[in-house]
Amino acid sequence: MRAEGNSPPSEKNRLSEAQIRSSMDQLLWHIHGWLEEVARYLQTLRPTVSHEFNFSNLMVMRSLTLEQSFVSFRRQRFGEQELLDHVEFYYRLMCPVSSIIRVPSTVANETETRLRVAGLAFEVSPEMDEKRIVRAVQFKIVPEIKSTIRIEPDYVQHKIGVRLSNVDRFEAMQMVFTPSQLNEDALEDMVRLMLGESTAFMKRAPWVANWRPTRPALTSVKPVSRYIL
């Protein structure tokens, strides 16, 4: 006789899990369509963003405008179901002027690494003394910030992660929602956060460092994506 704890899930329970995954997938498709409309609106409006981005107290980028945005997605196979693997919102913030960062040569490599982590493009110019020894390094920063919001479901734990990268600061942060929490009111707060109008979105769900969705062995990601400009 099979022990109760090792018995396979009933057909009813399997169907229930499949229904939950399907409901989450429908929510992700709704979010995708909603964000496409937002992307089109922002492309036309090109709004000013109120955030100031401070890079290690060496540089501040301000008076930013949102110049480009688009939405992409990928699908995944989960058993017999084909579901959304993630939805991602990309946008670019433009600064009216380039910035120059000048640091001693001893910290140039560290500064360069941190600029790359922040997703900033730059040109490097070493400064040499009369003995042609590099004493300092200048970084001319390309006046743009690449920002992303990645919405990623966990179909096993019934959670949805929202990863904010360069949204209100040079940093990537992860929030974890239940599906019911990620409604249109929350999405509107997310857009307000992007534009620097409100931080209410940041209080809607807990922050969870290094969160990743569960990837069961029966799950595979299909190389399918779509975006709009």
Q: Do 11 and 86 have their domain in common?
A: yes
Q: In terms of domains, do 81 and 16 share one?
A: yes
* Domain identity same for 40 and 17: yes
Same domain flag for 120 and 173: no
Instruction: Please list the residues that pair with 162 across neighbouring strands.
Output: 151, 175
**Band (10; pLDDT cuts 50, 70, 90):** low
Supply the pTM of this predicted model: 0.84
Same domain, 131 and 149: no
Distance CA 190, CA 188 (A): 5
27 plus 71 within the same structural domain: yes
Q: What is the pLDDT of residue 224?
A: 47
At 95 the three-state DSSP class reads: coil
- Tell me which residue range forms the domain holding 136: 98-142
Structure tokens at 186: 């929350």
Number of domains in the chain: 2
Query: Of 115, 142, 169, which residue sits at a domain end?
Result: 142
The whole-number pLDDT of residue 128 equals 87
Stretch 59-69: mean pLDDT = 95
Same domain, 118 and 197: no
Instruction: Tell me what pLDDT residue 16 has.
Output: 85
* Same domain for 78 and 191: yes
- The alpha helices in the chain, defined as continuous H runs, are 11-45, 108-117, 184-195
Average pLDDT of the chain is 89
* pLDDT, tens digit (0-9, with 9 covering 90-100), for 19-32: 999 999 999 999 99
pLDDT for the residue numbered 15: 57
